[in-house]
């Protein structure tokens, strides 16, 4: 990330870090525990850049490097100008063929358990509900949570992150509750099977909330319920470590 894109991102970071009211508004909107947006901004993961006179929200784009990810740009949600308008997302820098690699929380390189959600919001919601964003030392060793950008973004994930793959991790897939999400059970899980110790897919309830974030807003998860879920799936032991 360089030049005008870097300047816009850093200005958006500064804005979000000091705007406590906006932080509270985002936490309430997404159903996140208080302080989640503040933590993301302080970590340089979520910003509020300005575009065409309006401020939006943007997640950093992290491309895999040799031993750490590299900031290559940001993925921005533009606030609809009128109620009912379709939400538009864009990448910055635009028009340079930036791959839609996943949003990453935790250390994928050393992960023993990788939780893959469909979208950045769901990714943050899962980690925040588990209590992993509460403070700098809350993140469990050996766990990474990824937000795939778009239902078919898993193909880009495999293409670009495969050279940096951890040693035989377990995967938990959390797709959206729609037709595209159903394909994760066969296509995405099938592609992961040769690369993983195990692959588990959470099956959404038919007719239920459209994604994990909506499910959480309907009936909030707690750290106890998240750990209980992971233990019931055989992905964590009673001490909270990946198996």
DSSP for 135-167, written as a single string: STT-SPTTEEEEEESSTTTHHHHHHHHGGG--S
Which residues have C-beta within 8 Å of that of residue 92, sequence separation ≥ 6?
Answer: 5, 8, 9, 49, 58, 73, 74, 76
Q: Order of strands across the sheet with 46-47?
A: 46-47, 57-64, 69-78, 88-92
Residue 192: helix, strand or coil by DSSP? helix
CATH number listed for the domain at residues 99-243: 3.40.1360.10
What pLDDT does residue 96 have?
66
Q: Per-residue confidence of the chain (243 residues) as pLDDT tens digits? A: 888 899 999 999 999 999 999 999 999 999 999 999 999 999 999 999 998 888 999 999 999 998 889 999 999 999 877 777 788 999 999 866 778 899 999 999 999 999 999 999 999 999 999 999 998 889 999 999 999 998 899 999 999 999 999 998 999 999 999 988 889 999 999 999 999 999 999 987 878 899 999 999 999 999 999 999 999 999 999 989 999
Query: What are the structural domain ranges in the chain?
Result: 1-98, 99-243
């Amino acid at each position: 990330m360089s030049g005008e894109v870097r300047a816009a991102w850093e200005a958006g970071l500064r804005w979000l870090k000091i705007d406590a009211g906006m932080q509270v508004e985002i936490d309430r909107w997404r159903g996140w525990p208080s302080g989640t947006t503040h933590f993301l901004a302080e970590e340089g993961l979520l910003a509020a850049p300005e575009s065409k006179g309006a401020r939006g929200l943007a997640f950093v784009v992290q491309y895999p490097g040799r031993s750490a990810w590299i900031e290559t740009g940001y993925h921005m949600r533009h606030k609809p100008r009128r109620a009912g308008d379709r939400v538009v997302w864009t990448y910055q820098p635009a028009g340079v063929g930036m791959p839609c690699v996943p949003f990453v929380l935790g250390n994928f390189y050393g992960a023993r358990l990788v939780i893959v959600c469909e979208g950045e919001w769901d990714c943050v919601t899962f980690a925040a509900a588990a209590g992993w964003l509460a403070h700098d030392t809350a993140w469990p060793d050996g766990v990474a949570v990824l937000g795939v950008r778009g239902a078919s973004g898993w193909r880009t994930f495999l293409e670009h992150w495969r050279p940096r793959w951890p040693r035989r991790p377990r995967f938990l897939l959390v797709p959206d509750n729609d037709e595209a999400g159903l394909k994760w059970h066969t296509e995405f899980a099938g592609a992961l099977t040769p690369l993983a110790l195990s692959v588990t897919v959470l099956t959404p309830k038919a007719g239920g909330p459209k994604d994990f974030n909506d499910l959480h807003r309907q009936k909030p998860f707690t750290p106890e319920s998240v750990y209980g879920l992971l233990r019931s799936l055989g992905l964590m032991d009673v001490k909270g470590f990946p198996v």
